[in-house]
Structure 1
């Protein structure tokens, strides 16, 4: 069973009220996304507030708005924001993305999301967990459409998805104003297949996409790669 809290170097994430606990996906995205120059960042599907907190730590000049469709998740994120050193720059809004876009068009310089990605798969029976994990509440098409309308003319979008969904997501992206300019493929272990894709898009023209590969472990449990430790060392206590 997961602990009721997860302690990082500069903040603690309580997770007793949310179905989705702190996980590697969120930490990877929060550590990797490039929000330099962004003054207003939107975290879609914030859950515990982990990624929003990481953005607040990394970008001291940015205001971060975090939204979630689940009321318990919003309560949890708000609690974690208030306990952090950056409570004055963190706001949580209880809303679906589809409703939020109606009154916040064009406001954000960077949008970041660890979105739901399961399609037509078996439900767990936990309503909050299923809401966070399945695309019923937010499809990839809706994510791109709403992000496109919420972002400013030079804005960026960062997401993490299963590697198997990358081709589908890139096809959907073609109906938006976004161009892919950074990609990170992640292997859980150097001897295993790629399992995650971190993708970063911009509305600006892109000549070449920067592509990288990262493996987390070096063939043995908890034997972490130097690249993974370097990426996450500002957050994990162990590094």
Structure 2
């Protein structure tokens, strides 16, 4: 295991151990955990959980849910389990070190209500592959591509279950087309801007398994103020 940093969030109520030089989570994960909105009593599946950040933030904010995190990289899966234990959430979060392509509903105790995922953004052949394996797998579609990920989500969701995914806005058409083609109808969309004056950088989309056509675009989310500090909306995502 490579050296770790020990970071605290939510006014010190959550501790997260992360690789010092490997893959570290970004603001994308925090946004996704905020926008997913699970209902009380639901079971949430986090595909590509990494160090467990999204699963832990969801469980912290929503006391009445169960979360299952799936991670293909053994070192990150082990780290996620450590983070779950350090935050005393082993009764509510289960981490599985497994390739999501091989998952069946039986493996996770039956279909889930909600899938969340912050998948690799770049196609296998686009751009330079990072020499760090953790970062490479997180950024490029090396272990799984978008269509395979969505088919996995559909297979593991209950009827009318939901998926919330965050993705580059430049690939929003690719994402929505793939969602519709795999039976996960896009229903709500949030455009995410670095600043009020900039074009959207990311998009968060929630789809429904077997849903009817009809997309609602919500208010945009702006990340930074003119002075470079987080906006109030983003600051609230880090508060207890």
CA distance in 1, matches of 2:105, 2:39: 26
Task: Identify the residue that residue 112 of structure 2 maps to in structure 1.
Answer: 108
Alignment of 1:45-84 (within 5 A): 45-84=48-87
Give the unaligned 5+ runs of structure 2: none
In the TM superposition, residue 218 of structure 1 has moved relative to its aligned partner by 1.9
In the TM superposition, residue 208 of structure 1 has moved relative to its aligned partner by 4.8
Task: Identify the residue that residue 19 of structure 1 maps to in structure 2.
Answer: 22
Task: Identify the residue that residue 5 of structure 1 maps to in structure 2.
Answer: 6
CA distance in 1, matches of 2:95, 2:86: 13
Alignment of 1:1-239 (within 5 A): 4-9=5-10, 10-16=13-19, 19-37=22-40, 39-101=42-104, 103-104=106-107, 107-119=111-123, 120=125, 121-203=127-209, 204-205=211-212, 207-222=214-229, 224-230=230-236, 232-235=237-240
TM-score normalised to the size of structure 1?
0.89
In the TM superposition, residue 28 of structure 1 has moved relative to its aligned partner by 0.7
Out of 183-192 and 34-43, give the one that drifted further. Answer: 34-43
CA contact 1:17–1:72 (8 Å) conserved in 2:
no
SS state at 2:137 partner: helix
Give the unaligned 5+ runs of structure 1: none
Out of 94-103 and 66-75, give the one that drifted further. Answer: 94-103
CA contact 1:52–1:64 (8 Å) conserved in 2:
yes
Q: Deviation above 6 Å: which 4+ runs of structure 1?
A: none
SS state at 1:174 partner: helix
In the TM superposition, residue 128 of structure 1 has moved relative to its aligned partner by 2.0
